[in-house]
Amino acid sequence: MGPKHPFVFAKTWLGVIEEVGPGVSELEKGQHVAVMILYGGYTEYAVLPIEKVVKVPDGVDNESLGGLVLFLMAERKKRN
């Protein structure tokens, strides 16, 4: 059973944090992150729980993250 239509497709998202919520100390504005979500990967902005967000190391560009995204998908599948 999928989401109600219309919905935004894609399960991965790469971006830069614009803001963090109150009490969040693990992430900061301007940090490069990768996210695994069920739907919504093609959105311009997203509000997500911290456990869905993975910090991307400094110096790693989006083109290099293809392998990381595949790894994250495999890890998630393995855990479920």
- Residue 34 forms part of a structural domain: yes
Q: What is the pLDDT of residues 18-37, one digit of tens each?
A: 999 999 999 999 998 888 77
In this prediction, the residues of the chain whose per-residue pLDDT falls under 70 are 1-2, 7-12, 38-42, 72, 76, 80
Report whether 34 contacts 14 (CB < 8 A).
Answer: yes
- Residue 49 forms part of a structural domain: yes
Range of the domain at 36: 12-79
Given its phi and psi angles, is residue 45 left (phi above 0), alpha (psi -120 to 50 degrees) or beta?
beta
- Residue 38 forms part of a structural domain: yes
**Whole-Å CA distances, 14 to 3, 23, 54, 59:** 22, 23, 10, 14
Q: How many domains does the chain have?
A: 1
Task: Write down the pTM of the prediction.
Answer: 0.65
